[in-house]
Amino acid sequence: MPALSRKVVIEARVNEYAGRAPNPNVPWTAAEIASDVGECAAAGASIAHFHARANDGGAAHDYDAYRDVVRGIAGASEILVHPTLGMYSGSSDPRERFRHILRLAEDGLTPDIVPLDMASTNVDRFDASAKAFRSDESVYLNTTGTLRYFAETARERSIKPYGQVYGIPSLRAIDAFAAAGYLSPPLFLSLLLTEGEVLAAHPGSKAGLDAFLPFLPRRHPVVWTVTLFGGSLLPLIPHIVAAGGHVSLGLGDHPYPELGRPTNAAVVAEAARIIRECGAAVASPEEARDILGC
């Protein structure tokens, strides 16, 4: 493969709501997340995405949990910070879902990036072996009004929105948001692929990824990364790099058993190795800021 004269951004998706049965290295506590993120930064990650978790691994939605993680990360590296907005917070009020971000900003801990899930979708899981759904009433609801509030509030505080793309309609919505002035270029998009029990997006294959690419917004500069929930992103990295994309992966999405029981830093290091083998370089946090316009 010919050399590629560009920098590839690696985002470490360190925990989501993953349990520890498949891999005990998923970080839960604030101290664990901060330490894990520091190791990921040393391995080549320039963005860290996390969900605040309780000591027992349960979801934590209180402000203090997010504050403690962000403080810990800031003390460990220059990596860009990307907290979740709390999909399962029990509230559909966009102001409630964004409240911890605003308080972080008030306390001088402004995140660099926030997610913008550009779709409402069913998120029930399907157990193929049992030929049955595990639930049949789970909906992730993101109205246009909610997304507009997130985008405009983030812009007011100079936080970069990260458009999570579930399919072609998500790309069309992002293009419309940019045309309406709710999003500023360069647009930062995550093309979501899913495998296993999760059916909400394109399959985690070259064909699944390629189906997005003809429909990327053309009227505005775009930076895109790829996320694969429920499967390994590593085999797709050469194709992502060749196509001009960036990489988002970690134990929050997949336990990566092909690497044994790795840490997030080991997964990042393997991704960095593959990127360099493709002739590209791994972006530093400072370079990622320039690429994303943060």
Phi (first) and psi of residue 92, to 5 degrees: -100, 0
∠ CA 121-50-23, rounded to 5°: 95
Please count the residues of the chain: 294
CB 246 within 8 A of CB 240: yes
What's the angle, vertex CA 159, arms to CA 99 and CA 239, rounded to 5? 120
Q: CA-CA distance, 113 to 82, in Å (whole number)?
A: 5
Q: What is the pTM of this model?
A: 0.95
Identify the pLDDT of residue 86.
Answer: 67
CA distance 191 to 93: 26
- For the record, the structure tokens of 222 come out as 């775009």
Amino acid letter, residue 20:
R
* Residue-range domain boundaries for the chain: 7-292
Determine contact, residues 174/187, Cβ cutoff 8 Å.
yes
Q: Residue type for 50, please? A: F
> Token pair of 76, please?
């460990």
CATH number corresponding to 7-292: 3.20.20.70
DSSP the chain: -----SEE-EEEE--TT--SSS-TT---SHHHHHHHHHHHHHHT-SEEEE--B-TTS-B--SHHHHHHHHHHHHTT--PEEEE---TTSS---HHHHHHHHHHHHHTT---SEEEEE---EE--BEETTTTEES-S--EE---HHHHHHHHHHHHHTT-EEEEEE-SHHHHHHHHHHHHTTSS-SSEEEEEEEE-TTB-SSEESSHHHHHTTGGGS-SSS-EEEEEEEETS--GGGHHHHHHHT-EEEE-TTT---GGGSS--HHHHHHHHHHHHHHTT-EEPPHHHHHHHHT-
Instruction: Give me the phi and psi of 105, to 5 degrees please.
Output: -65, -40
| Cβ neighbours of residue 273 closer than 8 Å, sequence gap 6 or more | none
Handedness of CA 230, 231, 236, 241 (dihedral sign): positive
Q: What is the pLDDT along the chain (294 residues), one digit of tens a residue?
A: 444 479 999 999 999 999 999 999 999 999 999 999 999 999 999 999 999 999 999 999 899 999 999 999 998 789 999 999 965 555 678 999 999 999 999 999 999 999 999 999 998 999 999 999 999 998 899 999 999 999 999 999 999 999 999 999 999 999 999 999 999 999 999 999 999 999 999 999 999 999 999 999 999 999 999 999 999 999 999 999 999 999 999 999 999 999 999 999 999 999 999 999 999 999 999 999 999 999
Q: What is the pLDDT of residues 170-222, one digit of tens each?
A: 999 999 999 999 999 999 999 999 999 999 999 999 999 999 999 999 999 99
Sign of the dihedral defined by the CA atoms of residues 18, 233, 34, 102, in that order:
negative
Burial label for 89, CB within 10 Å (0-12, 13-18, 19+), is: middle
